[in-house]
């Protein structure tokens, strides 16, 4: 059974930093592209970042470019999101999501809540 367990969320002040982790199991992590997708409270879904299976190709949404860094450790079956210069509008549940195909997100983790507030 595929499991994706996010951690690292919490309350942080504007301008602060946070590092999210996603522990993957139940599939060959190193063979799959991975993504972070977020959802602000009461709002819709927003793709945040993509990383290829080897980590050699990375993309970011314009809203986080230059502030967030995605990475992965295939030896540890883990995905990360380093978030710097956080803003109130970054407040959201952050989901770790497998790229079942380049165009398709499946499955999803349960998410971790990041709250940016003073």
Q: How far is the CB of 37 from other proteins (least distance, A)?
A: 8
Contact between residue 6 and residue 112 where contact means Cβ atoms under 8 Å apart: yes
Closest CB to other proteins among 3 and 15? 3
Question: Rule CB under 8 A: which residues touch other proteins?
Answer: 35, 44-47, 50, 59, 95, 100-111
Closest CB to other proteins among 30 and 99? 99
Cα separation, 13 vs 69, in Å, equals: 19
Q: How far is the CB of 15 from other proteins (least distance, A)?
A: 28
Closest CB to other proteins among 103 and 118? 103
Q: How far is the CB of 13 from other proteins (least distance, A)?
A: 27
Q: How far is the CB of 5 from other proteins (least distance, A)?
A: 12
From 98, 81, 91, select the one nearest 21 (Cα to Cα).
Answer: 81
User: Quick check: bond before 107 cis, omega within 30?
Assistant: yes
Cα separation, 113 vs 110, in Å, equals: 10
């Amino acid at each position: 059974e595929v499991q994706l367990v996010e951690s690292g969320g919490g309350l942080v002040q504007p301008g602060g930093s946070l590092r999210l982790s996603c522990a993957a199991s139940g599939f060959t992590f190193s063979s799959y592209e991975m993504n972070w997708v977020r959802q602000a409270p009461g709002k819709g879904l927003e793709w945040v970042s993509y990383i290829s299976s080897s980590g050699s190709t990375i993309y970011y949404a314009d809203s986080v470019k230059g502030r967030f860094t995605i990475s992965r450790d295939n030896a540890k079956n883990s995905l990360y999101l380093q978030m710097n210069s956080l803003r109130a509008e970054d407040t959201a549940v952050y989901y770790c999501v497998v790229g079942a195909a380049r165009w398709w997100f499946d499955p999803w983790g349960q998410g971790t809540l990041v709250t940016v507030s003073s």
